[in-house]
Amino acid sequence: MNISSIKAKGRAKALYKKFFERVVVKDEEREASKLLLISCIESELDNLKKSTVTEGELIGFDSAIEMAVYFIEELPEEWDKWKMQTELCMQFDHLDDRFFFSPVVDRIDFSKGFVAGNLQMLTRNEYYTKTGEIVDRLKLGRELK
């Protein structure tokens, strides 16, 4: 393990700690919660890189943590779908299947940003179908680690 990997793991642990201080989840929801936080971070970063937002603000939350907390506390139906999808995707042995069936945070309306009232859960497969993106299959395993 190299120095940058060690530093990244340290940052991730600190972020998870801060997140779990902010939101209360059951023990059996921790894995789903971690995936949600990771998806919120990815959403924030991807949206900053390639924004299609034409109305309002790009990110309507102070941080990825706040976006994840909002999703859990204010979108109970989406959170329930997220937990069920996480459980389903973890049953796959093959990383490609696990990747494509993992949940992601997405915008309902692409012309708006990641803001309250415009968030939903999709599987990665649904997301890639919706956006027309092609996935580099070599990256699949790395993204799930």
One digit per residue, the tens of pLDDT, for the chain of length 145 reads: 555 555 667 787 888 899 999 998 999 999 999 999 999 988 887 766 666 666 667 778 888 999 999 999 999 999 999 999 999 999 988 888 888 899 999 989 888 888 999 999 999 888 888 777 655 544 544 454 4
Token couple for 98: 């696990």
Closest among 95, 22, 108 to 65, alpha carbons compared = 22
Number of domains into which the chain is organized = 1
Range of 136's domain?
Answer: 3-144
| pTM, rounded to two decimals | 0.80
Pairwise CA distance, residues 129 & 84, whole Å: 21
- In sequence order, the 6+-apart residues with CB closer than 8 A to the CB of 116 are 60, 70, 74
